[in-house]
Structure 1
Amino acid sequence: MALPRTYESQNCSIARSLEVVGDRWTMLVIRSAFEGVRRFDDFQDVLGVARNVLTDRLGRLCAEGIMRRVPYQERPERFEYRLTRKGVELWPAMMTLLMWGDRHYAPEGPPVIVGHRGCEGTLTRRLTCTSCGADLEPTDVEPRPGPGA
């Protein structure tokens, strides 16, 4: 029996969340937004995704309130895509998924280390700094090349 394409009949927050972010391109768009990518062409360059797929994913993320379109040019009209508060709240889930992938699918070591900006420490599973113990948020961290880079 094939799995249904939607989970509307399931009373489950995981299933409902997957309806919104459970697609690989959607997650990679969100990852890129956390890395500072803002413009359509930059998302396309970084991800190598087809324009129609990217248009669809950005539209869905905006419709769900995870990202918002912000004009940056009037003629021609152009927009940046920025994470909303709802989108930023995905950061712990993204970091947990990253660390899980590092443990199980990075035999050469993590390709990226999430470092505490201005500190020598790195992100722990509890989203704190290994060096100073601070609770870390997305603006507190920066990507650093890891051994698997």
Structure 2
Amino acid sequence: MEDLREDREAWSMENCSVARAMDVVGSRSTILILREALLGTRRFDDFVRRVGVGEPAMAARLKEMVAAGLLERIPYREPGQRTRHEYQLTRKGRDLLPVITALRNWGDTWSADEAGPGIRATHHDCGEPVHAVLRCAAGHDVKDGEIDITAGPGLIRRS
């Protein structure tokens, strides 16, 4: 297999999965909404309060996230109130848990203040901290420098 890092000028970034993912989740508010949804937040007012953005911005962002398939709107109605919607993660949204976990792990190491991280994520079965880990399909942990970049079926080569 040819390692593409050797000749990066020969391939185009037009079909880049990282760039396309950033088109969907690349804003600060989207990542913070995902954090909150993964922590169990469901209602609009709670998202506004916990993420710290205004209602118009939150409404626009939630609409974008529903359109992108990260969240779904579920109607609910409290007695004597009008029908409202709560937001639940879809499978596509829940699949971002390792990404949010990796960002939290990085932030705990490199961005937390002197008191340490504000929250800790632990495995409820054993109580140990949860960390994002790179692992190949065969089950081996993969470290920096142990990854080969090869052509995928959608690679666009420059002429």
TM range (shorter): 0.7 to 0.9
Q: Would you say how many aligned residue pairs link Structure 1 and Structure 2?
A: 119
Does residue 123 in structure 1 map to residue 153 in structure 2? no
Letter in structure 2 aligned against 1:103: T
> Structure 1 residue 93 and structure 2 residue 99: aligned?
yes
Q: Which has the larger radius of gyration?
A: 2
What stretches of structure 1 of length at least 5 have no aligned partner?
A: 1-8, 128-149
Structure with higher strand content:
1
Match of 1:115, SS state, is coil
The two structures have a TM-score, normalised by structure 1, of: 0.74
Shift in CA distance, 120/88, structure 1 to aligned 2, threshold 3 Å: same
Cα deviation 1:102-137 (Å, max 9, x = unaligned): 11111422221101114321113329xxxxxxxxxx
TM-score (norm 2): 0.70
Pairing 1:66–2:70 present: yes
Q: Structure 1 residues 10 and 76, CA, compared in 2 at 3 Å: closer, same or farther?
A: same
Q: Does 1:46 align with 2:54?
A: no
Instruction: Tell me which stretches of 4 or more aligned residues in structure 1 moved more than 3 Å.
Output: none
* Cα RMSD, aligned residues only: 1.8
Structure scoring higher RCO (CA < 8 A, sep ≥ 6) equals: 2
C-alpha distance in 2 between matches for 1:124 and 1:37: 22
Indicate yes or no: 2:86 matched with 1:80.
yes
Counterpart residue type for residue 110 of structure 1? P
